[in-house]
Amino acid sequence: MFRDRELPIGIRKSMPVKDMEPTEAFTGEPMPAPGYSQTAELVHPMEKPLFVACLIISMFLYLCILFFPPFWGVGVMLLLLGLISHGLVLGHIRGNSIRVSVHQFPEIHQAAEQLRQQIGLGEAPPIYIMESGGMLNAFATRFLSKDYVVLYSNVVEMAYEQGMDALKFVLAHELAHVHQGHLRRRWLIGPALLMPFLGKAYYRACEYTCDLIAAHAVPQGAKGGLLALSAGKHLHQRVNAESFAAQTYTEGGFWVWLAEIASTHPRLPKRLAAIMELPIVKQSQLKQELLAQDSSAPTHMSLQN
C-alpha cells in the first residue's frame, strides 16, 4: 500500500476526480468506456510542457537548417537515412509477421475493435504479431502517414494460455499512443527528441499517459500486463506486485536515476506503483479477489454432503 505523497508526482496530479467515486466494478456490469473526453483528462501533466519545449527547440533547429545552405545537405541526408532505415524495418515486419484480422487471431481483432471504441480512436491501425525470440513487448509505429501496432508473439502466447486481460492492457497502451498523436506529431519535434535528456523525458511522460488510458480501459489487466513485461509470461504470476512497486523507493541512487533519465520508458516499478494506486484498478483487483473467493468457497450442495 502506498501513501498518495509517495506516488510519482505527475501521476498523482493527473488522477481524475471522477475516478475517486465508486464505479460499476462491483455490479458485474462492464467497465465504463473512457471515451475521448476522459482520455484527455488522463494526459500526464508534464507531457504538454515537454512537447512545447521540444517544439521550440526543433523549430529553431529546423530554421537553422533552412537559413544556412551548408546544413541542407546534412538535413536531407539525415531525412533520407531515417526514412530508409525505418522503411526497411517496417517492410521486414509487414513482410514476415502475421497480420491480425477477422480470420487471423479473431479474438485479438475483436479486442482491438472494442478497445478502439473505448479509447475513442477513429480507426484501428493494422496489428501484426511478430516472433520475438522470447521477449515480451509491443510497440506502435508510424510510417508515411500510416500507423501500425506490433505485438511480440510471446505476449500473444501468454494471452491464449492465461487469458486476454494482460494482452488487452498492452494493446490498449499501444492504441493510446496512436490516439494521443504521439506518433503523428513526432516529426515536428524530431530534432529535439535526439537531445539526450529532454527527448527521453517527453517519451516517459507519454508512457505514463498511455499506461493511465490503458488502465482505465482494461483495469483488470493493468497489473498483469506490467508484471509480464518485468518477469516474463510465466514468472509474472508469482511476483508480489506490492513489493515490486515498492522498489520505486527502495532501489534508488545515482545510477538508477541516471539509467532512468537516459531511458524512453519510466522504471517498471514506478509504472506499476502509479497504476496500482488508481481507484479503478483497486476496485477491479478487489472484484477479482471476491470472485476467486466465491469460486473456492464450498457450495450449498457440498455442505450438505
Interacting positions 205-224 with Zn ion (CB under 5 A): 207, 210
- Distance, in Å, from the CA atom of 191 to the CA atom of 186, rounded to the nearest integer, reads 10
For residue 254, how many C-alpha atoms fall within 13 Å in the half-sphere facing its CB? 0
Query: Given the complex with Zn ion, which of 25 and 278 has the nearer CB atom?
Result: 278
Q: Which listed range, 156-164, 199-207, 241-249, 256-264, lies at the site for Zn ion (CB under 5 A)?
A: 199-207
Query: Given the complex with Zn ion, which of 51 and 283 has the nearer CB atom?
Result: 51
CB 211 within 8 A of CB 274: yes
Query: Given the complex with Zn ion, which of 25 and 271 has the nearer CB atom?
Result: 271
Query: Given the complex with Zn ion, which of 99 and 265 has the nearer CB atom?
Result: 265
CB 169 within 8 A of CB 218: yes
The distance of closest approach from Cβ of residue 242 to Zn ion in the complex, given in angstroms and rounded to an integer, is 24
Size of the site for Zn ion (CB under 5 A): 2
- Distance, in Å, from the CA atom of 131 to the CA atom of 135, rounded to the nearest integer, reads 9
Q: Which listed range, 87-95, 185-193, 203-211, 297-305, lies at the site for Zn ion (CB under 5 A)?
A: 203-211
Query: Alpha helices of the chain — where are they, by DSSP H?
Result: 9-14, 35-41, 47-67, 70-96, 106-119, 153-162, 165-179, 190-193, 198-217, 219-231, 241-250, 254-261, 268-276, 279-296, 300-304
The distance of closest approach from Cβ of residue 72 to Zn ion in the complex, given in angstroms and rounded to an integer, is 34
The distance of closest approach from Cβ of residue 173 to Zn ion in the complex, given in angstroms and rounded to an integer, is 5
Q: What are phi and psi of 2, to 5 degrees?
A: -120, 140
The distance of closest approach from Cβ of residue 303 to Zn ion in the complex, given in angstroms and rounded to an integer, is 49
CB 31 within 8 A of CB 195: no
The distance of closest approach from Cβ of residue 126 to Zn ion in the complex, given in angstroms and rounded to an integer, is 18
The distance of closest approach from Cβ of residue 252 to Zn ion in the complex, given in angstroms and rounded to an integer, is 24
Positions in the binding site for Zn ion (CB under 5 A) = 207, 210
